[in-house]
Amino acid sequence: MDNTQDFPSSRYDRSKVIAKTGLKIGTNYAKFHLQKALGKNRNVEARKELNRTNANELFKEFSKLRGTALKLAQGMSLDSSMLPEEFAEVLTQSQYAVPPINKTIVRTIIKNQLGDWPENIFASFEPEARAAASLGQVHKAISKDGRTLAIKIQYPNVRDTIKSDLSIARIIFNRMMSSEKADAYFEEVKSKLIEETDYKNEGRQIEDFYALYASESVVTPRWIQEYSTKSVLTMTWVDGLHMGPFLDNKPTQQERNHFGQLLWDFFHSQINDSCTVHADAHPGNYMFTEDGKLAVLDFGCVKTCPFIFFRDYMGLFVAHRDGDIDRIKSLYESLEIFTDTSAMDEYDQWFFDYTLGLGKLFVSPYQDDYFDFGEPTFMQDFNQFARDAAKFRDPRGSKHFIYITRAHLGLYQMLMKMKAKVDVRPGRQILHDFLKRHEI
């Protein structure tokens, strides 16, 4: 079998799939509006069904592309501000339920990478994938010494697709926006995505996070190095429910709060001198275990920031909370959001006012001892700021914002989805202790 036929990797082939998908979705919406203009009944339910149809079309085609296309779908699945909720419902599948690749391809990859067929290496190996996402899929196996394992198989050609997709994205970005930082932004994204395809690196990061964060409340897998290569990653198996199935089971508010608290505490436990965070914060990378623990999965996207950036990013929280405009301006300059806040033109002032409002909203959970992420006003304001961000045509700030804010925004989006009420004090204390150590 020609594996390359299943994964279009050239810029031309992938552009063709994207263009076809966009045309089909656009045609569906055009037909809907035409029939509405002709007086045919097109009620709210009909519009929702159309959204689901188009979302399924998008998911189907992006599943063929995998790679960065599905990374985009993962982000869209959490976005409640720019897309109809029906899109989020469908695209949630991109987090862990992508259609798996052919079983024959899986066996061939293991044979090529580990030197033998899976049935000869392991006591048992499940040919059906337990989960599949943007870069690879996971199979369950039992080692010959009795350990339960998760085997992550990287899709063929996925590294080539990253280069193709980013070249397409760069063209679109240049047409929509102008930014002197475009080269730095794209290099940051490219380097992290390429890094995610190095499963040996991910294995080392699994061990680093295990050493730092595995505890009575947090579970992480262990890396099984002898059965791992750059494109096959073997680790210990972790049982639990992803957020989608957890919420489908209609958990009590107490259960939502419990696991929301664990997510909040895990994020803040990473505010330390390592300046390193688990930067792929979406529901597919976390599970809730039967005994009440948070399982943290997938350590391919881990961001280590320069110390000065990490310190100043965290310092913004206190500056925004205190309304310290002078300190905020100083940090904005340090973080490359503004070159000189003493000489702002009309557009700069508009942008400054926007970031000031966003910062105030972002730190609002830290103001009191408890915060309810299910509070409708917070979600509405959060979504409005996200919609307003689309008005800006010159992205600003250090390239390091891309992944550090992704982690923080992902946390908020998951907590809002869970409608969890959390005790903010442990995280706030960690933040204050970090800044106090470094005199911020």
Say if residues 42 and 30 touch (Cβ distance below 8 Å).
no
Q: Rounded to whole angstroms, how far apart are CA atoms 408 and 386?
A: 14
Q: For residues 25 and 393, which has the higher predicted lDDT (pLDDT)?
A: 393
How confident is the model over 227-232, as a mean pLDDT? Answer: 96
Express each pLDDT in 158-202 by its tens digit. 877 777 666 666 655 555 555 677 778 878 888 888 898 899 999
pLDDT band at 81 (very low <50, low <70, confident <90, very high): very low
pLDDT over threshold 70, residue 206: yes
How confident is the model over 79-92, as a mean pLDDT? Answer: 52
**DSSP assigned state of 145:** T
Q: Rounded to whole angstroms, how far apart are CA atoms 82 and 98?
A: 23
Name the 3-class secondary structure at 295: strand
Contacts 24+ apart (CB under 8 A), 317-324: 317/362, 317/363, 317/366, 317/431, 318/431, 318/432, 318/435, 318/440, 320/356, 320/359, 320/360, 320/362, 320/363, 321/363, 321/366, 321/367, 323/360
Express each pLDDT in 119-164 by its tens digit. 999 999 999 998 877 788 899 999 999 999 999 999 887 877 777 6
Say if residues 11 and 167 touch (Cβ distance below 8 Å).
yes
Task: Collect all residues with Cβ–Cβ distance below 8 Å to 52 and sequence separation of at least 6.
Answer: 86, 89, 90
**DSSP assigned state of 241:** B
* Residue positions counted in the chain: 440
Express each pLDDT in 367-424 by its tens digit. 999 999 999 999 899 888 877 876 776 778 999 998 999 899 899 999 999 999 999 9
pLDDT band at 3 (very low <50, low <70, confident <90, very high): very low
- The domain segmentation of the chain, as residue ranges, is 3-95, 96-156+198-237, 240-440
CA max distance for the chain: 69
pLDDT over threshold 50, residue 1: no
Q: Give which of 126, 128, 142 is closest to 100, Cα–Cα.
A: 128
Say if residues 59 and 90 touch (Cβ distance below 8 Å).
yes
pLDDT confidence of residue 191: 87
- Distance (Å) of CA 233 to CA 139, 206, 221, 223, 298: 10, 11, 12, 8, 10
Mean pLDDT of the chain: 83
**Domain at 96-156+198-237, CATH from 3.40.50.300, 3.30.200.20, 3.90.1150.10, 3.40.1260.10:** 3.30.200.20
How confident is the model over 80-102, as a mean pLDDT? Answer: 57
Q: Rounded to whole angstroms, how far apart are CA atoms 389 and 383?
A: 10
How many secondary structure helices (H) and strands (E) does the chain include? 17, 12
pLDDT confidence of residue 77: 45
Burial of 423 per CB tally in 10 Å (0-12, 13-18, 19+): middle
